[in-house]
Amino acid sequence: MAEDRRTRRSRRALGAALVELVLERGFTALTVEDITERADVARATFYAHFRDKEDLFARVTADLLTELGERLAPAVADSAVGFTGKPVLEMLRHAREERDLYRIVLRGEGDGKPLQMFVDACARATAEEFRARAERNAVKPRIDPELLARVWVGEQLAVLRWWVEQDAPSLPAEEVVRMLLDLAMRGRYWASGFEPPA
Amino acid sequence: MAEDRRTRRSRRALGAALVELVLERGFTALTVEDITERADVARATFYAHFRDKEDLFARVTADLLTELGERLAPAVADSAVGFTGKPVLEMLRHAREERDLYRIVLRGEGDGKPLQMFVDACARATAEEFRARAERNAVKPRIDPELLARVWVGEQLAVLRWWVEQDAPSLPAEEVVRMLLDLAMRGRYWASGFEPPA
DNA sequence: CAGTTACTGAACAGTCTGTATGGCATTGAT
DNA sequence: ATCAATGCCATACAGACTGTTCAGTAACTG
């Protein structure tokens, strides 16, 4: 008796309706009635489950993040060196499956706070990872790790966003990850086709 | 008789009020009355100038973009190689002067569409620049220029966002640009302190 | 100074919100 | 199969915000 079937049905329908509609018209343009209508649910029922539409949105994205976290955990444990390998690949795969939701979140829809939080968390973790790695290998960073972390996160995010927004994905996930790895190792100058400088 | 002084006064006050309030409470939380109250202007006057609050926001950001464009033009002409040098520096300076507005825009406040447009425009221009440069120097890109452009823009934007959000700027603009240049030339691996791979 | 133009304050209908209600239908457990 | 519990529905309501209109007043330009 974990949960009443009706409850589950309503919640699911409302979540799905939200995603559809945000994609069609954008979050701010939506009214609660739009959502309940699409979900084929009474407006009163909406308020029985969620405080307002931002609440619904918050829960939907929170679920997505939890799911992502669960899928990422083993990949992170595997890849001792850093994040750029398996974890990113795993994220791209997740993004492929949940494409609609990823698009919405990455567009910063719904005041964009879930996205900001996620980015900041990533950036902090990454900066820490960079520092730890430098320590471990007894090397001195040539660039402020804080800045470097922002660059890294911004980069991954930009690629993810671009990849998810394409109508027909021009590159498979594996290919994208390979390019990102090359880029990290050898720099953008090399990537453009030039020989590395002296 | 370019413009009535009262008109100018009202518009300015409303724009300034918007910026203040968005920073304090976020765009979506604001009502038109909040804005007119802060600006000390009648609500009816607001509608004499702007269709709604998104209209006001759009104009304010459009002005900012125009200003940026004017400041960037000479810098772009100067730096024949690409964007990473003078233009970025100039943008950072502009961002320092208009810090509040930059913060708002970069947070994707107000449905974030102005930001998206700007980013997409940058990405397209950058991709084109990369292609042209490769052609000019007769080298073959080792990574899809489209992806590379997204990476570059995402990177600059992340840094800019980080730089503008800091309470006390930890690095001067010149320093940031230097680091970005190094990063572009030698890659993140090098930046972390490691010797370049074979 | 005079004519023009912008601002003000008030009022209006319309939309959306969030809450409350009592009757009805589905559900899960016995 | 039955029953008590619980979620759903339709409806209604006050309150907030929107966008428009208008007549009176003040400020500006030339």
Residue A55 resides in a domain: no
Tell me whether B179 touches chain A (CB under 8 Å). Answer: yes
What confidence category does residue A16 fall into, taking pLDDT thresholds of 50, 70 and 90?
A: very high
Instruction: Please determine, for residue B80, whether its predicted confidence score (pLDDT) is greater than 80.
Output: no
Asked if residue A39 and residue A115 are part of one domain, the reply reads: no
CB contact under 8 A, A185 and B197: yes
Give the model's pLDDT for residue A105. Answer: 96
Residues in chain A: 198
Residue B174 resides in a domain: yes
Give the model's pLDDT for residue B193. Answer: 86
Give the domain extent around B42: 1-50
CB contact under 8 A, A186 and B185: no
Give the model's pLDDT for residue A80. Answer: 55
What integer is the mean pLDDT of B49-77? 94
Cβ contacts of A133-139, under 8 Å, gap ≥ 24:
A133/A82, A133/B192, A134/B192, A134/B193, A137/B193, A137/B194, A139/B192, A139/B193, A139/B194
Tell me the two tokens of residue A124: 């902090």
Asked if residue A88 and residue A138 are part of one domain, the reply reads: yes
Which are the contacts of B60, defined by CB distance < 8 A and separation ≥ 6?
Answer: B15, B18, B19, B101
Cβ-based contacts of A184 with chain B (< 8 Å): 187-189
Q: What is the CATH number of the domain that holds A121?
A: 1.10.357
Give the model's pLDDT for residue A186. Answer: 85
Asked if residue B77 and residue B160 are part of one domain, the reply reads: yes
Nearest CA to A91 among A118, A111, A64, A72?
A: A72
Among A178-182, B152-156, B184-188, the least confident range: B184-188
In order, the DSSP letters of A33-90 are HHHHHHHT--HHHHHHH-SSHHHHHHHHHHHHHHHHHHHHHHHHHH--S-STTHHHHH
Residue A198 resides in a domain: no
Give dist(CA B136, CA B139) in Å, integer.
8
Instruction: Please determine, for residue A117, whether its predicted confidence score (pLDDT) is greater than 60.
Output: yes
What integer is the mean pLDDT of A162-189? 89
Per residue in A87-108, pLDDT tens?
999 999 999 999 999 999 999 9
CB contact under 8 A, B150 and A158: yes
Give the model's pLDDT for residue B114. Answer: 82
Give the model's pLDDT for residue B160. Answer: 95
Asked if residue A143 and residue A86 are part of one domain, the reply reads: yes
Residue B198 resides in a domain: no
In order, the DSSP letters of B10-53 are HHHHHHHHHHHHHHHH-STT--HHHHHHHHT--HHHHHHH-SSH
Number of domains in chain B: 2
Per residue in A26-59, pLDDT tens?
999 999 999 999 999 999 999 999 999 999 999 9
Residue nearest to nucleotide D10 (CA to C1'): A42
Give dist(CA A95, CA B42) in Å, integer.
48
Instruction: Please determine, for residue B79, whether its predicted confidence score (pLDDT) is greater than 80.
Output: no
Cβ contacts of A90-99, under 8 Å, gap ≥ 24:
A91/A160, A92/A160, A92/A163, A92/A173, A92/A176, A92/A177, A93/A173, A94/A67, A94/A68, A95/A160, A95/A163, A95/A164, A96/A169, A96/A173, A98/A64, A98/A67, A99/A164
Asked if residue B147 and residue B97 are part of one domain, the reply reads: yes
Give the model's pLDDT for residue B39. Answer: 98
Give the model's pLDDT for residue A69. Answer: 93
Q: What is the CATH number of the domain that holds B20?
A: 1.10.10.60
CB contact under 8 A, B147 and A171: yes
Give the model's pLDDT for residue B185. Answer: 85
Kind and range of the H or E run holding B62: helix B53-78
Give the model's pLDDT for residue B168. Answer: 87
Give the model's pLDDT for residue B15. Answer: 98
Give the model's pLDDT for residue B16. Answer: 98
Give dist(CA B93, CA B105) in Å, integer.
16
More confident residue, A170 or A135: A135
Which are the contacts of B194, defined by CB distance < 8 A and separation ≥ 6?
Answer: A137, A139
Residue nearest to nucleotide D9 (CA to C1'): A42
> Which of A162, A170, A171, A181 should one mutate to test binding to chain B, selecting the residue with the greatest count of B CBs within 10 A?
A162
Asked if residue A161 and residue A119 are part of one domain, the reply reads: yes
Per residue in B89-128, pLDDT tens?
999 999 999 999 999 999 999 888 889 888 988 899 889 9
CA of B117 and C1' of D15: distance in angstroms?
37
3-state secondary structure of B135: helix
Asked if residue B91 and residue B118 are part of one domain, the reply reads: yes
- For A152, the closest of B123, B185, B188 (CB atoms) is B188
Residue A43 contacts strand D, CB under 7 A: yes
Instruction: Please determine, for residue A198, whether its predicted confidence score (pLDDT) is greater than 60.
Output: no
Q: What angle do CA A12, A13, A18 make, to 5 degrees?
A: 100
Asked if residue B184 and residue B122 are part of one domain, the reply reads: yes
SS3 content of chain A, % helix, strand, coil (to 5): 75, 0, 25
Per residue in B10-57, pLDDT tens?
999 999 999 999 999 999 999 999 999 999 999 999 999 999 999 999
Tell me whether B132 touches chain A (CB under 8 Å). Answer: no
